[in-house]
Chain A
Amino acid sequence: MRLPCPICGERDRREFYYKGHALALNRPDPDADDAEWDDYVHLRDNPAGRTRDLWYHSAGCGAWIVVDRDTVTHEVFGATLAEDAEARDAAG
C-alpha cells in the first residue's frame, strides 16, 4: 500500500504512522459528558468499505494527513493535509 502525501507525493506505507479514523480530528469540548468522550475515544463506525483515516508522515515531512481509502480492497483514492481537512470540516 502506498499513500499519496500531499507534500511529498506517493510514498511507501512504512513511512507513515497510523492513528485511526479521522474522527480523531473532531475532539469534543473538554466539558462534554462521558458519552461524548466515549464516542470520540472508543466507539467507531469501522466501515467495511470506504473510510477516511488519519496518518502521520513520520519518516517524511511530518505532516498529518487524512487518507481516503477502501478497507476491503486497500485502494487509496487520495489524501489531504489534516489541517486542510480540519478547516474544511469546520467550515461545514
Chain B
Amino acid sequence: MRFSALRILKEGLTGNAGWGPHWRSPEPKREYDVIIIGGGGHGLSTAYYLAKNHGITNVAVLERGYLGGGNVGRNTTIVRANYFLEGNSQFYSHSLKLWEGLEQDLNYNVMLSQRGQLMLCHSDGQRDAYARRGNAIVNQGDDAELWSAEKVREEIPYLDFDNTRFPIYGGLMQRRAGSARHDAVAWGYARGASDRGVDLIQQCEVTGIDIENGRVTGVQTTRGPIRAGKVAQVVAGRSSQVAAMAGMRLPIESTVLQAFVTEGLKPCIDHVISFGMGHFYISQSDKGGLVFGGDIDFYASYAQRGNLPMKEHVMEAAMTLMPVIGKARVLRSWGGIMDMTPDGSPIIDHSGIEGYYINAGWCYGGFKAVPGSGYALAHLMATGQPHDSAAAFRLDRFRTGRGLMDEEGTGAQHNLH
C-alpha cells in the first residue's frame, strides 16, 4: 500500500474502507539472523536500515508493549543539528539530512516542519559563544544565523526583551531545525521495515539473554526462546535492566524529564524557541497546543512523572521569557525516562559480548537522533565497523577518558547532566 494524493482522494470518496494495517503482525519464528530488542523509534529505524541499506531482512523487532509506546511517543518532537563538539556534530548533521528525505524515503507523512529553532542569548559572552558555535555549524555544512536583538524583536515581538535578569541580546537561528510528528516516525519506520520482511513482534518481553562462551546465541521471551547470532538492545529508558540480563553494568543513570502542553491556541509561536538560561524551550504543535519543557528532575527515577519543584521552575521560566503565556491554560504534563550518561552523549557500540550491541544513553536528545541512530547501528551490525557519523559514540570512552563529549561543559559526572 502506497500513500498518494490520488489514493487519499479515492479513499475519501469511498468511506475510507480500503486502508489496511500498516504492518504485519506475525508469530515469532524460532530463529532470526538479527534480533532488535525494543520497538521504539531507534529500534524500528535500525531494523529498517538493516533491511534497506544492507539487505538483512531476517530480523525480528521484539517489543514488550506496543510499537512506539515508549519515549518516541513521550518527547517534545524537536529536530535540529546545532551541536558543537566533534563527534556529536557530524552525527546530528547526518540525522537531520535523513529527516529531510524521510517522507519520500518512507512514503509516510512524518509532518517534518522546518520552522527554525532559535537559541536565545542574554549576555555578550553568550553571544560570542553562539557566534563560534554558528561558525562551526556552518563549517560542517549546516545552517546557522546569528540574530541581533532587533531581529529577534521583529520576528518574536512578545518575548520579554528587557527582563532585568535575562535581557535578550539576540540568538542563534537554525532554519532547517523544527519539529515532526513523533508517532508517525515510529509508524513509518515500522511499515517500511515490515514491508521489507522484518517481523515486528509486539507484547513480547525479553526475559533473558542467552550467552554461550562469550557469544550471544539468542533471547528468552514471554513468547518463548528465539535464537539469533546478533542481538541489539535499543531500549533507552530501560537500558540498565536489559544490559543486566547480559551481565553488564552501563554508565547510565535514569532520570525523569517532564514536558507540558497547553490547550489549543491559534497560531502564535512560529519557531522552536530555546531559553537555555531558564532550561526552557517551547514550540506550538499543529493542533495548537503550546508544547514546552525544562530540565530533568535530577534524581534517579523510572516514574514517568516528575515532582512539583521542576514544574514550578518550568512555569517560572515560561513567565520570565514570555509573560503572555500566563493567559494559556496547561492541559497536561508527563514525564519520560532518560538514559543519562556521565558526559551527556549517547552510546552506539559493540558490547564486548560477541554479537551483542548496545544503543543507549540518549539523554534528553533521542528524538532528533532516530534516523541517524538506526542508520549507524545498522551499519555497525552489518559491517562490524562503526558508521563515520557515529564513530565517537564508544562505550569505553568513560573508562579510558578518551573521546568524552561533554557538550554542556559541566564535567563528565552522573549528577551534572
Contacts and interface: CB of A to CB of B under 8 A. Distances in A.
Interface of A: 1, 12-14, 18-21, 34-35, 38-39, 41-48, 51, 53, 71-74
Interface residues of B, number: 25
A19 B299 CA distance: 8
A74 B414 CA distance: 20
A43 B300 contact: no
Given A43-B250, A44-B251, A38 B300 contact: no
Interface string B296-328: 001111110001010000000000000000000
Contacts of B249: 39, 43-45
A44 B309 contact: no
Given A18-B298, A20-B414, A45-B244, 19 more contacts: A1-B299, A1-B307, A13-B299, A19-B415, A21-B253, A34-B400, A39-B249, A42-B342, A44-B249, A44-B252, A46-B300, A47-B240, A48-B240, A51-B300, A53-B299, A53-B300, A71-B254, A72-B303, A74-B307
Given A18-B415, A20-B415, A42 B303 contact: no
B399 interface: yes
Contacts of B303: 71-74
A19 B249 CA distance: 19
**DSSP class of A's interface residues: helix, strand, loop or mixed?**
mixed
A47 B337 CA distance: 13
**DSSP class of B's interface residues: helix, strand, loop or mixed?**
mixed
A41 B250 contact: no
Given A39-B249, A41-B413, A44-B252, A34 B302 contact: no
28 contacts: A13-B299, A13-B307, A13-B309, A14-B309, A18-B299, A18-B415, A20-B253, A34-B399, A34-B400, A38-B398, A42-B251, A42-B399, A43-B251, A44-B250, A44-B251, A45-B240, A45-B244, A45-B249, A46-B254, A48-B238, A51-B300, A53-B300, A71-B254, A71-B300, A71-B302, A72-B303, A74-B303, A74-B307
